[in-house]
A = this chain, B = another copy of it.
Amino acid sequence: MKMEVASLVLRSPLIVASGVLGSSGSLIKNVSENPSVGAVVTKTVTYKPRNGYENPTVVDLGYGFLNAMGLPNPGYLDYKVELASIKRDLEVPLIVSIGPSNGEEAGKMVEALNSVADGFEVNVSCPHAKNLGLEVGSDVQTVRKIVKAVRESTGKPVLVKISPNVTDFVDVARSAVDAGADAITAINTVRGMAIDVNAMKPVLSNLYGGLSGKAIHPVAVRIVYELYEKLEVPIVGCGGVYDWKDAVELMLAGATAVQIGSAIAYRKMSLNVFNEIEKGIIEYLTTKGFSSIRELVGLAHNS
């Protein structure tokens, strides 16, 4: 199921979402050996190393997860070394996720990481990191500056990942595109909180976190659908993809490719979910008489 997003050629439209593999380079390498994986987005890397928040950092809700990891990562310099050590052996494009707090950081990180990245995803949407993510991503001007700096530092495809927590997400996405983004990833997690009735306290040490998984799937579908009508660039769908139907739903809404995060949890050597989803999509294409996955993209729209 070959597919193109921005100028990245993917052997499958299924992409590993940022964050769920941690910072392990070798894990990225292993994952890339799964023929149903089309690309890997790295854990978001920041300018300085971050330990992330204290535990508890995740709550299991049954129909999704709430997380406030706090963007733990070794910092872009160390991470570059790690990624460089595996880059040569990678079988799929490596999309490096960066979480800059301003344009200057963005430029420096991208320049340094350019040699190991096939593309970048700019995370302006993490709902729980101070001075990062959503705190920059809800301001249209800051997003513009950051994306501009990224654009000026690389010729490689630039994706910008947006947040569902912002009323005017279309404006944010559009300003990213105006500043040079080649594609939009939608969505990051939805802000939420869990309180334990026995402990009588919020569970997450950061108090609130980001909701992912099944619970946010209809939100992702809605946002992808709306962005597809408003933007000219490809959209990468993300949010609550657990089976092939969830993936197809995002594609019909307008996603050219689909990212998978939460569904990876729990499963032993857990990338079977990619194989199952790819198999399901192929069967669906056959049953419905499509000759390529491209034909699905945006099909739910009237035009």
**Interface residue ranges, A against B (CB under 8 Å):** 61-64, 66, 138, 165-168, 190-195, 197, 200-202, 207-208, 211, 214-219, 221-222, 225, 245, 248-249, 252-253, 284, 299-300
Contact = CB atoms under 8 A, between A and B. Distances in A.
A253 B192 CA distance: 12
B208 A193 contact: no
Each complex incorporates copies of this chain amounting to 2
B222 A191 contact: yes
A252 to B, nearest CB: 5
Contact of A192 (B64, B66, B218, B284): B218
A218 B211 contact: yes
Contacts of A190: 190, 219
Given A167-B167, A211-B219, 9 more contacts: A61-B218, A66-B218, A193-B253, A195-B225, A195-B249, A197-B249, A202-B300, A208-B225, A211-B218
Q: Helix, strand, loop or mixed for chain A's interface? A: mixed
A208 B214 CA distance: 17
A39 to B, nearest CB: 23
